[in-house]
Structure 1
Amino acid sequence: MTTIKDIAKKANVSTGTVDRVIHNRPGVSEKTKAHVQKIIREHNFQINTIASTLALNKSYKIGVLIPEAGTENEFWSEPKKGIENAIEEIKNFKISATFFMFNQFDSSSYQDAFLNLIEGNFDAVLIAPVFHKETEKLINQLDKKQIPYVFINTEIKGFNALSFIGQDSYKSGYLAAKLMSVMVPNNAQILIPVFRLNKGNYSSINNRITGFKTFFKEKYASVKIKDLAIPYFKSIDAINSSLNDVLKDDIIDGIFVPSSSSFLIAEYLENSQLNNIRLVGYDTNKKNIEFLKNDTIDFLICQNPYNQGYKGIKLLSDYLVMNKTPKPIYPSPMTVVTKENVDSI
């Protein structure tokens, strides 16, 4: 049986060079590549990629760029758990991960973490590209180094990502509107509060809002939708003030929160005893579930964040170890969660 070492010896190159040729990775001249490929064909060589990786004592490093989970919202703790569990499962293949965490509401924090990741010279990268402009500015540095990357949670088209794992944000917003439509009258007024300092730079949020508005434009044009920017999401007084300003002048029938921060609005509604306003949001974090169970939140759309992190690492490990190219998109399910089914999700 011909081995990688046999091929390397006949070609008068290192086993590492043969490995790069087999897996079509950079770092080998065209002349050497052609020479090695000729010898491989002559010996009808077929490689067991997993065995060869272990035999070569090869290791891989994956850089992970995701937001840090906060006490206000633990959403990002779930992808992190998924990543850690996936790494534990594949540790025998000598794959490790290094986290680069950032504040999801601070674009400069994202940019700094991204720059630190780029300097790490990783074999592959898993990214939650929360900030569109900063991603557009920095992603070409990974492309230049020929470092493969996978996007999770937020899809940004037009880049060279191997794959995207997450929901179709537009369709999920459309679904949220369909849920809202069964609870409010045809002439309803709906509020969309956004907890962002610069909401124009958040692709997922914007796509959800677009999908939501499109549904009502197509189905119930008489419904009025009002946008509300709340920049100081950590200040309860700022949230209350912003909502008070709207509700003193308008009769609001429903509120759509296009993020995992529904609990902040739900708390206001409970304290103000506004039990007749319908509320739809995202994600089954602990605080959201609390308000879902007491009927302040009517529906939550879950996007399975754990699986996004877990599958992202598995796709990259398969690509690195087995040269297996993933599908362009792995859509996350749009699970509608209610008070009645939340304990079984």
Structure 2
Amino acid sequence: MTANAALFTFASPTDLILEIPANVQNQAYLHSQSFSHPSSGYQAYLNELCLNVVLAWLQADFAPQAKVSPNINALASFWELVNGTAIVSDGIRFILVPSEAMDLSELRVPQEWVDISSLAGDYYLAVQVEPDEAYVRIWGYCSYEQLKNQGSYDASDRTYSLDAVDIISDINVLTLARQLCPQESTPKVIPQLATLPQEQAQNLISRLAKKEIITPRLAIPWTLWGALIEHGGWRQSLYQRRLGLPEQWSVIQWLQNGVSQLAENVGWGNLMQLSAAGARSVEETQPQTILSRQLAIAGQTYELRIIPQNEGESTIWRFELRNAAVGAAIPGGFKLRLLTEDLQSFPNNEDIAITAVEQLFVEVALEPGEGIVWEVEPKSENYDREILRF
């Protein structure tokens, strides 16, 4: 709900004042308890208040298709580590940067939202959150180019800042610009960060998982930190380790005990199918547990399956992609790809649909404890990298 800015004597006439509903505040408080430290919990609290209120406004008055990027279930792993939230609409990325500060002399944006190519935004919204007074105030915005070219970088806290005088204070200007040029987005040239070797990444996660490290984003050099947090699987692993959670992405445990709650939240589930493996007759056919996840790609629903296939004393893991609609095919040009945990290719790791096909599949033998990352092209909606542990 939009409040009347005229009632707030401190506010500029161009400020957008949004009320925080009581149920939103209560829910954000409950969620804030699931973090490793009070500081990260409070950071999550402010971010959730900001997100829920601003996203509702965007969807109602500006961008009906606006949604969280990469997905709602990834938010906790970001808020544990860095301030800010990404929203995407029609290919345009908005970064919400909440602050409680009453001094609105500058906008400060964490480096992660600027110098990591997959996270950087097109526009950055300056948002003041006042939980006690139950309002959110959008007092301006800037483009990526403004922040990068006119802003100042502070190495002490790894943030870019832009003075208020350089920020566009009237949010209606952004609304008008997006209405007139809805697909306009200036290409950004951001150097790719080098991928971390798996052993180094695991060592960093073990080190940063210690709760006494209150601000892990400042505890290691930027190039290492940026590469670590950009990898969705490693980011999730660091978040879970900091909370002291057991392994949440073990395929073996999923098959034996059911899918973990975190994996279930993003769509993984157990299915039963009849298997004739080792059976001497139809009567001996046994039900087999497989893992399944639905993916939304280009307006259609597909199903990714993981099927264990026993061959003697070893197990071959079959990753299979199908169209969820009965009788429907996978279009030509689709790809199913498996990568190592540190995103390296290996022989026969990809299946490509040259023309429309019934299914794509990749089969792989894995060592105990080995991790695999799956990818589908075109990319599925809400995709965030996962490390499936075998």
Larger Rg: 1
Normalized against structure 1, the TM-score is what? 0.27
Q: Point out the structure with the larger helix share.
A: 1
